[in-house]
């Protein structure tokens, strides 16, 4: 069995769609970071997406843990031309596309961006590779909202539309385990 302890990066306080925009995390809540650190497996290696908000969060948690190289396949969903724009602005411009993207996730993507299916394929390949390299072990993975949702969807076997309603708060823990050829979910959006 391999276990991936997914941690969502610290908050960015950004407005609008934030996918590949490389924004810093606000890690000023030292008490929250200390609680998170104490709740994570002590000797587990830490890996993160290559975006600054995930890197900084992972670095803060890796003080006493091995730090692995960044994994670019763990990047957040690419929102294309929607990056940095508000929900209201996109809804005013193309309400049908926005509605399809949110209500029927799959092949629908923002202009110049990435679909749910493409994101899940990318992240699943990374998760499978990480689990294989750390077979029988635990790995702390610092990533992003939609990235974590893809792996929970896979482990729970639910539809993308259903998992999009699941909260994944900043600095929360969600756990997936690979055993006997399948992924299962443990804790979801746990706040230490």
Q: Are 109 and 118 in contact (CB under 8 A)?
A: yes
φ and ψ at 56, to 5 degrees?
-65, -40
With respect to residue 101, please indicate whether it lies within any of the assigned structural domains.
yes
What pLDDT sits at residue 21?
A: 95
What pLDDT sits at residue 63?
A: 87
With respect to residue 190, please indicate whether it lies within any of the assigned structural domains.
no
What pLDDT sits at residue 13?
A: 94
What pLDDT sits at residue 64?
A: 86
With respect to residue 119, please indicate whether it lies within any of the assigned structural domains.
yes
With respect to residue 141, please indicate whether it lies within any of the assigned structural domains.
yes
φ and ψ at 115, to 5 degrees?
-85, 165
What pLDDT sits at residue 132?
A: 92
For residue 22, what are the domain limits? 2-185
Q: pLDDT by residue (tens digit) across 113-161? A: 999 999 999 999 999 999 999 877 999 999 999 999 999 999 999 999 9
With respect to residue 192, please indicate whether it lies within any of the assigned structural domains.
no
| Start-end of H helices in the chain | 30-39, 52-61, 87-93, 95-103, 116-133, 145-156, 160-163
With respect to residue 122, please indicate whether it lies within any of the assigned structural domains.
yes
Ranges of residues in the chain whose predicted pLDDT is under 70: none
Number of domains, the chain: 1
With respect to residue 51, please indicate whether it lies within any of the assigned structural domains.
yes
49 CA to centre of own chain: 9
What pLDDT sits at residue 136?
A: 79
With respect to residue 191, please indicate whether it lies within any of the assigned structural domains.
no
At 98, list the tokens: 């926005």
Question: What DSSP state is assigned to residue 165?
Answer: T
The CATH number of whichever domain residue 104 belongs to comes to: 3.40.50.1240
To the question of pTM greater than 0.85 for the whole model, the response is yes
């Amino acid at each position: 069995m391999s276990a991936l302890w997914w941690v969502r990066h610290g908050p960015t306080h950004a407005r609008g769609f934030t996918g590949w925009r490389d924004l810093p995390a606000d890690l000023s809540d030292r008490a929250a970071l200390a609680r998170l650190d104490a709740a994570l497996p002590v000797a587990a290696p830490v890996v993160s997406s290559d975006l600054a908000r995930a890197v900084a969060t992972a670095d803060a948690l890796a003080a006493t843990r091995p730090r692995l190289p960044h994994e670019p396949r763990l990047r957040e969903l690419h929102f294309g031309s929607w990056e940095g724009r508000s929900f209201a602005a996109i809804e005013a411009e193309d309400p049908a596309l926005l509605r399809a993207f949110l209500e029927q996730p799959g092949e629908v993507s923002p202009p110049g961006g990435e679909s749910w299916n493409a994101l899940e394929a990318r992240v699943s390949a990374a998760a499978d590779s990480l689990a294989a390299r750390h077979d029988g072990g635990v790995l702390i993975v610092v990533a992003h909202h939609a990235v974590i949702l893809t792996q929970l969807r896979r482990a729970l076997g639910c539809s993308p539309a259903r998992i999009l309603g699941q909260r994944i708060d900043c600095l929360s823990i969600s756990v997936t385990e690979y055993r006997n050829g399948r992924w299962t979910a443990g804790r979801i959006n746990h706040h230490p």
